[in-house]
Amino acid sequence: MPAESAEAPVSELRASARRVGALVRHDFLQLRRDPGPVISRLLMPMVLLVVFEPLYRATARVGPGGSAIVEAAPRVLVMFSMFAISTVGAALLTERTWRTWSWLRTTPASTGELLIGKIVPLLGVLLLQQALVLGMARLAFGLEFSGGALVLAVASLSWALCILACGTLVATFARSNNQLSSITDVSGLLLSSLGGAVVPVALMPDWLRAISPISPAHWGVRAFQGALLGQPGQALGAAAVLAGLAVVIGSVAGWRINRRWGRPELL
């Protein structure tokens, strides 16, 4: 009997892993069938990195050991990650507009497993976007990863998780793709600007600098710049804030999905 009791959690864990794996494969297939939005999110940051680098060279204030590219790469990366919220939201909203979310809820998969299955492919896209932008900045402009690979990985992962949580939450409020596009376009530009992803915080008016930390983009820029400049305290502190935001925002999104989002009368 004790042996059977010990095997039960292991069997359930394996079953959960199989369900999540099936969902991940399904969503990867969906991304492959309609790769346009993903390709644009991957290519446009690299194009704008080339365009914006001279601007940040003129306005860079990074201190000793820094360079203009340390200003340009994180800001371009953070700005386009904010716009990627629409891609995350669309992946979930599709299930709602197609009225398939309620069907998925009737399967043995839990809400957490369903969300993990949707999020893992998008997490891969966000991390690939970061790798491409930072890789191009290194090859084309000589960007140095002074903080080390581990600190940079922590900053990258925490920022990606925060974006995923924001996209999930937005999807629970939008009722159509048009609404989703409007919300993400306006909020993405506003939060990117407020967080210093468009104009350096040091160049902002005093009242904007004071409220800049309310934007996740503020902490995203700080995390990446700290990792690139060899300031692990700044990078890890900002990453902790991003992780906290991801937990809070993700919890609210999960609550909405469990309590209201899947009900047919709200579709």
What type of residue sits at position 7? E
Distance CA 161, CA 157 (A): 6
Predicted local distance difference test score (pLDDT) of residue 20:
85
| 3-state SS, residue 49 | helix
Distance CA 196, CA 255 (A): 31
Predicted local distance difference test score (pLDDT) of residue 33:
78
Predicted local distance difference test score (pLDDT) of residue 196:
86
Predicted local distance difference test score (pLDDT) of residue 64:
42
Residues of the chain under the 50 pLDDT cut: 1, 62-66, 262-267
Cα–chain center distance at 145:
21
Predicted local distance difference test score (pLDDT) of residue 164:
92
Q: What are the domain boundaries of the chain?
A: 2-266
